[in-house]
């Protein structure tokens, strides 16, 4: 059996392009874990992903029951698990009111963080059991981060800034009765997304500290660059969607194409030289061409003050365990 990578949200943008890159390599079988089966299948065919190189499996991260069902279906499939990529996300910057997952959590944090938190915990034992003939060297769990959740950068300081505060909203269930934001503040869709990405990066660091030595699994996060044309911005206003790609291309120079971003993610999953655990990978766009897709060397980036706060990471871990029913 070929090494298997599970990629969530592989029906669009970064996840789809990483899935394509890994499937085309011939070294990997890709499980596309998606909420829209038909869309994933259509997109895979459109990109010419070889038949037999991928399997689409249903996963809706906005439902803990669906996450558990996915894990069961995956285990029943008898596939080995060499890499898990927690990539899917929703971004609701123009939402005036919070919306909620099937379990009643605010949708961005519920999907981007809590759904993935349960998934990664439930699949850890399968990663640990992966055979050793893996081209990456060791099993990996990659949780996609973001510069927007990284307040030690210019982009990460664009308001509203990520800030989990004392986690009082999360601890009271994030269900809109007491709070729909992790810090207990007023709902703000853009901030909820950024908070969720901070949770993703804190989770990666917690998993590294808790499980790397005992399981041998490599945990990492990355910021692949600003992929200004993905579906992530589908809920933004039209003018933003028109101006954002050229702004990122010519002003911030943070722009990266979907294809290149997909290759970067695939590199973090499979490149034997990127086997260090606990790392947040980034690329220096200034040194790469905006016009030709090039894979530059990945750099170990620094995380923001909040993401490096391990005590907060541990409190997030405990609160998340309770909410997803693992405690
Ligand atoms: P896209 O919107 O193109 O892709 C998001 C994917 O997540 C889609 O496949 C979507 O499914 C899936 N998804 C959303 N909700 C759920 C759910 N409930 N269950 C299962 N899947 C779901 O965005 P990107 O490719 O840009 O984003 C991918 C990752 O990259 C995210 O983690 C994002 O935070 C990160 N990122 C993006 C950047 C950018 O500039 N775009 C920059 C930095 C990080 P469907 O196709 O059905 O909608």
pLDDT tens for residues 16-74? 999 999 999 999 999 999 999 999 999 999 999 999 999 999 999 999 999 999 999 99
Higher pLDDT, 297 or 288: 297
Indicate if ligand 1 lies below 6 Å from the C-beta of 64.
Answer: no
CA-nearest residue, atom 7 of ligand 1: 88
Indicate if ligand 1 lies below 6 Å from the C-beta of 43.
Answer: no
Indicate if ligand 1 lies below 6 Å from the C-beta of 142.
Answer: no
Tabulate helix, strand, coil % of the chain (nearest 5). 45, 10, 45
- What's the whole-model pTM score? 0.95
Distance CA 45, CA 32 (A): 13
User: What's the distance, Cα to Cα, between the start and end of the chain in Å?
Assistant: 34
Digit-coded pLDDT (tens) for 303-321: 989 999 999 999 999 999 9
- Kindly state the tokens that stand for 49: 């992903």
Q: Among 116-120, 136-140, 312-316, which stretch is predicted with the lowest mean pLDDT?
A: 136-140
Q: What is the mean pLDDT of the segment spanning 233-238?
A: 79
Q: What is the mean pLDDT of the segment spanning 264-277?
A: 95
Cα(89) to centroid of ligand 1, in Å? 4
In the predicted structure, residue 152 carries a pLDDT above the cut 70? no
Kindly give the number of the ligand 1 atom that is closest to the alpha carbon of 144: 32
Distance CA 163, CA 144 (A): 18
Q: What is the pLDDT of residue 56?
A: 98
Q: What is the pLDDT of residue 295?
A: 43
Q: What is the pLDDT of residue 149?
A: 63
**C-alpha angle with apex 168: 164 to 172, nearest 5 degrees?**
125
| Sole residue written with tokens 């990460």 | 156
Distance CA 207, CA 316 (A): 12
Q: What is the pLDDT of residue 251?
A: 75
In the predicted structure, residue 292 carries a pLDDT above the cut 50? no
Chain centroid, CA 269 distance in Å: 12
Is the ipTM above a cut-off of 0.90? yes
Indicate if ligand 1 lies below 6 Å from the C-beta of 66.
Answer: no
Indicate if ligand 1 lies below 6 Å from the C-beta of 89.
Answer: yes
Mutation test residue for ligand 1: of 58, 230, 280, the one with most atoms within 8 Å of CB: 230
Distance CA 176, CA 15 (A): 30
Higher pLDDT, 159 or 11: 11
Mutation test residue for ligand 1: of 8, 14, 37, the one with most atoms within 8 Å of CB: 14
């Amino acid at each position: 059996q070929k090494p298997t990578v599970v990629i969530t949200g592989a029906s669009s943008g970064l996840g789809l392009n990483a899935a394509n890159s890994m499937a085309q390599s011939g070294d990997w079988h890709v499980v596309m874990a998606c909420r829209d089966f038909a869309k994933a299948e259509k997109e895979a065919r459109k990109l010419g992903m070889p038949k037999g190189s991928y399997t689409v499996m249903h996963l809706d991260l906005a439902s803990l029951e669906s996450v558990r069902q996915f894990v069961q279906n995956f285990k029943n499939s008898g596939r080995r698990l060499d890499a898990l990529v927690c990539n899917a996300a929703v971004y609701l910057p123009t939402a005036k009111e919070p919306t909620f997952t099937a379990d009643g959590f605010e949708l961005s944090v519920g999907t981007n963080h809590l759904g993935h938190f349960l998934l990664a915990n439930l699949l850890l034992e399968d990663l640990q059991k992966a055979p050793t003939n893996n081209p990456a060297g060791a099993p990996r769990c990659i949780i996609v981060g973001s510069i927007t959740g990284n307040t030690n950068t210019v982009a990460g300081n664009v308001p509203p800034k990520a800030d989990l505060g004392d986690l009082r909203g999360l601890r009271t269930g994030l269900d809109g009765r007491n709070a729909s934001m992790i810090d207990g503040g007023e709902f703000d869709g853009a901030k909820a997304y950024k908070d969720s990405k901070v949770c993703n990066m804190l989770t990666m660091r917690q998993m590294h500290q808790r499980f790397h030595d005992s399981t041998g699994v490599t945990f990492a996060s990355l910021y692949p660059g600003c992929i200004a044309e993905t579906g992530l911005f589908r809920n933004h206003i039209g003018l933003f969607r028109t101006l954002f790609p050229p702004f990122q291309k010519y002003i911030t120079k943070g722009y990266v194409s979907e294809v290149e971003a997909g290759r970067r993610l695939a590199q973090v999953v499979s490149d034997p030289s990127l086997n260090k655990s606990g790392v947040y990978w980034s690329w220096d766009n200034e040194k790469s061409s905006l016009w030709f897709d090039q894979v530059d060397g990945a750099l170990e980036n620094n995380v923001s003050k909040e993401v490096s706060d391990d005590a907060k990471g541990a409190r997030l871990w405990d609160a998340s365990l309770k909410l997803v029913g693992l405690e």
